[in-house]
């Protein structure tokens, strides 16, 4: 970050009455389609000068999304699938404290030393569970990787929490154990 920008951020609480983090939280509570709309809002509703408003809006767009935000966005419009995700999360993290959960924009990876499972809300009614199970025969339920390509070797389509049964658990545990 350049020195002038850092000075502006450091001076923000004194000059605007709020820190950058507080301004970003305010902007996140609103939904603006364009940069200029956000700047106008800060200027008209909060009395922020143009320079500070422009900086706040620009920096707010650079803030990384939290894991919770990424997951919540994946299930917008697919809320009925979220209990399935929660059950899968509990299953995977229950294998050991060495499981790392890594949300991305469209999926969540479960990693030990290597990724062993990928969870993706594929449609409004289905989650695709990608597994790394090299050498394991495909079945009617344990399909080829499909849309996962080389990220996974197999896919299971899940439409309800009842699909998270002993058979699925055994495959997931096998993938976990192989990921060392």
CB 87 within 8 A of CB 164: yes
Strand order in the sheet with 154-158: 100-103, 108-111, 115-121, 127-131, 154-158, 143-144
Q: In 77-165, which residue ranges form alpha helices assigned H by DSSP?
A: 82-93
Residue-range domain boundaries for the chain = 3-60, 67-178
Element (H, E) at 108: strand 108-111
Tokens of 26: 């305010």
Please tell me the predicted confidence (pLDDT) of residue 33.
Answer: 82
Please tell me the predicted confidence (pLDDT) of residue 48.
Answer: 93
Please tell me the predicted confidence (pLDDT) of residue 60.
Answer: 84
Tokens of 136: 């394991």
Please tell me the predicted confidence (pLDDT) of residue 151.
Answer: 85
Please tell me the predicted confidence (pLDDT) of residue 1.
Answer: 53
Which DSSP state fits 168? H
Please tell me the predicted confidence (pLDDT) of residue 36.
Answer: 92
Please tell me the predicted confidence (pLDDT) of residue 61.
Answer: 80
Which DSSP state fits 127? E
Please tell me the predicted confidence (pLDDT) of residue 64.
Answer: 60
pLDDT in tens, the chain (180 residues): 577 788 888 888 888 988 888 898 898 888 888 999 999 999 999 999 999 999 999 888 875 667 788 898 899 999 999 999 999 999 999 999 999 888 888 899 999 988 999 999 999 999 999 999 999 999 999 999 988 888 899 999 999 999 999 999 999 999 999 998
**Chain CA centroid to CA 83, Å:** 16
């Amino acid at each position: 970050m350049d020195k002038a920008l850092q000075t502006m951020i450091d001076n923000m609480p004194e000059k605007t009455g709020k820190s950058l983090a507080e301004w970003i939280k305010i902007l996140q509570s609103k939904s603006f389609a364009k940069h200029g709309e956000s700047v106008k809002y800060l200027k008209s509703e909060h009395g922020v000068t143009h320079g500070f408003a422009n900086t706040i809006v620009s920096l707010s767009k650079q803030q990384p999304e939290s894991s919770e935000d990424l997951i919540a966005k994946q299930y917008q419009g697919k809320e009925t699938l979220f209990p399935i995700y929660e059950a899968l999360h509990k299953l995977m993290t229950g294998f050991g404290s060495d499981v790392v959960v890594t949300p991305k924009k469209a999926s969540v990876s479960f990693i030990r030393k290597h990724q062993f499972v990928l969870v993706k809300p594929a449609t409004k009614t289905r989650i695709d569970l990608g597994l790394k199970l090299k050498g394991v025969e495909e079945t009617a339920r344990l399909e080829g990787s499909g849309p996962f390509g080389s990220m996974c070797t197999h896919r299971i389509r899940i439409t309800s929490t009842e699909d998270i049964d002993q058979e699925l658990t055994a495959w997931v545990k096998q993938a976990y154990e192989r990921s060392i």
